[in-house]
Structure 1
Amino acid sequence: MECTDHEPAADIDAVLEAAETLTDTYRDYDVDAALERVTALAQAGTEQAPEVCVPTPYPTIHEQAAHDLDLAVSLIVDAPQACSSLTRLLDTDPVEPEGALVFAALLHLAGYREPSQFWFEFAAGAGNRTAAFCLFLLHQQRSEHRTATYWRTRTNPPAQPPMPSPAGTLRHPHLLPDAVRRDLIRRCWKGLRPSLPPRFEAVIHSLPVEPHSEFGGIPRPDHTLTELPALTVH
């Protein structure tokens, strides 16, 4: 079935407008640091997976966009602030956009493609440029070029730089164990679709779901997500 362009869901406009004034800690995302983490993870995995290599460019734009989106969500959950952002998503009212971004990335990795779009739109509507870039890639993947262009314009830098993080902020644990983060990045580098281990997916698939006219069932975050950092992979 051919995909067509569409604008963001009108029935969440009020939610997006209410969130627009919130601070977005991913707005100043350190790309160089992210690439260093990717390299370190990949190098750490080469002893067990010597075939790891950087994939060649994909033959079509939509295939390249699909790969780039998978890599983007893997970097989002790899970010040091992902765990604390997800915690604030559960404990803060109104919902913070950076937590919504992390939740959207987890949903994407767990196979919730349409619901992840809902949460990406929430974060992007609140001014999160990383979420807007993910939406650009998502619609580029579907060949929905008009909508992709719309979200691409939302990735422009803000007029003023974001406020720096408070000095002395405690370092939070990573959202996912090293082995899981390493595997996500390794699969991206091999040109494979990244996915979460079954026990992680089970936590996400157990979340409460609310019906939505456009996106179907929308998973809602709850405190079972705080179990993710404690899960071990065998």
Structure 2
Amino acid sequence: MTSQPPDPAGHTTHNLADFMPPEFWEFQARYDRACLEYSRIHLGSAAAARRLVDSTFLYLATIWCRLEAMPNPGAHAWALFKQRVHGELEAQGRSPATTETLAFARALRTASEPLLSSFRASFHAEYGPEIADLEEGMGLYRQMTKLSERQFDVLILRDALGFDTKKTALIMGIQEATVRSIRRTAKHRLAAAMGLQFDDTASLPTPTSRTTPTRSDPPMTRAPRSIDEALRRARVFQGEYTAADLETARHNLARHLHELRWVQCLSTAAPSGARAHQLPGALHDQAAHDLRTLCRGAVHHHGAARHITAFDTVRDPDGALTFACLLYLADQEEGAQFWWHYAAGAGSTTAALSLYLLHLRHGDMRDAQHWAGQIHRLNHLDWPCYTPVPHHADTSANPSPGPSVRYTLPRSGPAISEDAVKDAIDELEAPHSGVLGPVPQPIPALADHWDELVAT
């Protein structure tokens, strides 16, 4: 932004480039529909969703230079946006884990209640297919809310909102292969929960090629047999977002940026001794930093090689914790999450804290709250467990309903060459699981060369 005072009589929407560089507006165009419809699903109001999305982009505009310099701006923006959705739901006293917070479930329930209660008998003959379709949709969406947040987000973006795999990955700031893996696991869980067939070899059309039945289209006359068929019917809000919506959002954002310039202009006129206000670091930024500190400390622990050897031999949970931390430093996040789950299931508070920080990093507030609860339970059990990095994690003093764990970590320990870690991980075996996909496994040579690995 320019440091020159804005023209108070100027037209704020004359030229968007006057307010932000073209790269920002490209970024905003890429995310606007996804964020708007995602928040509408949770908040149940298009107007509330629009306000939340516009205010989020206004904040991103104020930190645009810092955002551009980040290694993954998309992941940062998506995590920040999800935190804001969670905060809005908390302010309304609503839980993001309940089906009632989803706009499409509310719409389906509102439409179906007259038919499903006193009018069911008299209208069933005429509206039987529509009733079945509404009941089917409600059942699918309820089961989707029971998935992990990442699985839920992928299905919402990929199937309910119609983004293809490439755009879903771009929006969430993850790899396309990760989207496919998460979606496959989610489909498997949904199929099992709903009693539907799961065919991994099914060839599906792209979401953008689907059409929503209109009033003149023949109704769906049977329940879906497979999860793929059910997801093909999950599309919502199709055709509602137009180019005019994007233009309106941009002009509103430009107007707010124009007003913000005056605030900045006035703040620069403050006395020279006044200290500039620094924007606080985002919650997910701090979580990412702390998780990396935790992983580096676990890998550098003097017992790490011994635990990796035990893990390779008998799948020792303490070794699983160390192995998960190594995978995380090598950007093998799915494998790290799998083995953290394994270690946490054996009572590791460090693994539970790692999962808490991982979900905070992604803005998955509901899943973070789950692991905050697990930390609380493990603390009460007071089990002796392997703690490679001295830390304290507590939830008992948390007065808020949000996912908050009070924890302390030592300062960042010795650095580790993440290139060397990635090279070591590339040599690992990754047997394929029919449900989970490739799961990284250790090899004996990993423990043999551990000292060389951490010394680089």
TM-score, normalised via structure 1 length: 0.59
Number of the residue aligned with 2:418: 196
Task: State the Cα distance separating 1:75 from its structure 2 match.
Answer: 1.4
**What is the distance in 1 between the residues matched to 2:298 and 2:289?**
14
Matched, 1:211 2:432: yes
**What is the distance in 1 between the residues matched to 2:443 and 2:279?**
38
1:140 corresponds to which letter in structure 2? L
Q: Is the 8 A contact 1:65 1:141 kept in 2?
A: yes
Number of the residue aligned with 2:415: 183
| Cα deviations by residue, 1:25-49 (Å, 9 ceiling, x for unpaired) | xxxxxxxxxxxxxxxxxxxxxxxxx
Which of 80, 88, 98 is equivalent to 2:310?
88
1:201 corresponds to which letter in structure 2? K
Which of 336, 340, 343 is equivalent to 1:120?
340
Number of the residue aligned with 1:178: none
Number of the residue aligned with 1:140: 360
**What is the distance in 1 between the residues matched to 2:369 and 2:434?**
24
Query: Cα gap change, 1:120/1:223 in structure 2, threshold over 3 Å: closer, same or farther?
Result: same
3-state SS in 1 of match to 2:414: helix
3-state SS in 1 of match to 2:431: strand
Q: Is the 8 A contact 1:209 1:219 kept in 2?
A: yes
Task: State the Cα distance separating 1:196 from its structure 2 match.
Answer: 2.2
| Cα deviations by residue, 1:142-169 (Å, 9 ceiling, x for unpaired) | 11111001111222314345289xxxxx
Query: Cα gap change, 1:230/1:130 in structure 2, threshold over 3 Å: closer, same or farther?
Result: closer
Task: State the Cα distance separating 1:206 from its structure 2 match.
Answer: 1.0
**What is the distance in 2 between the residues matched to 1:106 and 1:78?**
10
Query: Cα gap change, 1:137/1:217 in structure 2, threshold over 3 Å: closer, same or farther?
Result: same
| Cα deviations by residue, 1:100-129 (Å, 9 ceiling, x for unpaired) | 000000001111111111111111111111
Query: Cα gap change, 1:219/1:57 in structure 2, threshold over 3 Å: closer, same or farther?
Result: farther
Query: Cα gap change, 1:57/1:231 in structure 2, threshold over 3 Å: closer, same or farther?
Result: farther
Which structure is higher in helix share? Answer: 2
Matched, 1:5 2:149: yes
Number of the residue aligned with 2:326: 106
Which of 436, 440, 445 is equivalent to 1:224?
445
1:116 corresponds to which letter in structure 2? A
Ranges in structure 2 where 5+ consecutive residues have no aligned partner: 1-33, 35-77, 80-147, 152-184, 189-277, 387-412
3-state SS in 2 of match to 1:154: helix
Ranges in structure 1 where 5+ consecutive residues have no aligned partner: 12-55, 165-180, 185-194
Q: Is the 8 A contact 2:360 2:368 kept in 1?
A: yes
Number of the residue aligned with 1:60: 282
**What is the distance in 2 between the residues matched to 1:160 and 1:87?**
26
If asked which structure has higher relative contact order (CA below 8 Å, sep 6+), I would say 1
- Quote the RMSD (CA, aligned, Å): 3.4
Number of the residue aligned with 1:69: 291
Query: Cα gap change, 1:154/1:163 in structure 2, threshold over 3 Å: closer, same or farther?
Result: closer
Task: State the Cα distance separating 1:231 from its structure 2 match.
Answer: 2.6
Which of 155, 177, 187 is equivalent to 2:375?
155
TM-score, normalised via structure 2 length: 0.32
2:328 corresponds to which letter in structure 1? H
1:75 corresponds to which letter in structure 2? G
| Cα deviations by residue, 1:42-90 (Å, 9 ceiling, x for unpaired) | xxxxxxxxxxxxxx99611111111111111111112222222111101
**What is the distance in 1 between the residues matched to 2:301 and 2:316?**
17
**What is the distance in 2 between the residues matched to 1:70 and 1:213?**
30
Larger Rg: 2
Q: Is the 8 A contact 2:356 2:371 kept in 1?
A: yes
**What is the distance in 2 between the residues matched to 1:213 and 1:67?**
34
Query: Cα gap change, 1:111/1:57 in structure 2, threshold over 3 Å: closer, same or farther?
Result: farther
Q: Number of aligned pairs?
A: 162
Percent sequence identity over aligned pairs = 30
- Write out the 4+ residue segments of structure 1 that deviate beyond 4 Å after TM superposition: 1-4, 212-216
**What is the distance in 2 between the residues matched to 1:65 and 1:125?**
22
Query: Cα gap change, 1:84/1:210 in structure 2, threshold over 3 Å: closer, same or farther?
Result: same
| Cα deviations by residue, 1:162-203 (Å, 9 ceiling, x for unpaired) | 289xxxxxxxxxxxxxxxx7224xxxxxxxxxx5243x4222
1:91 corresponds to which letter in structure 2? T
Query: Cα gap change, 1:142/1:183 in structure 2, threshold over 3 Å: closer, same or farther?
Result: same
**What is the distance in 1 between the residues matched to 2:419 and 2:357?**
24
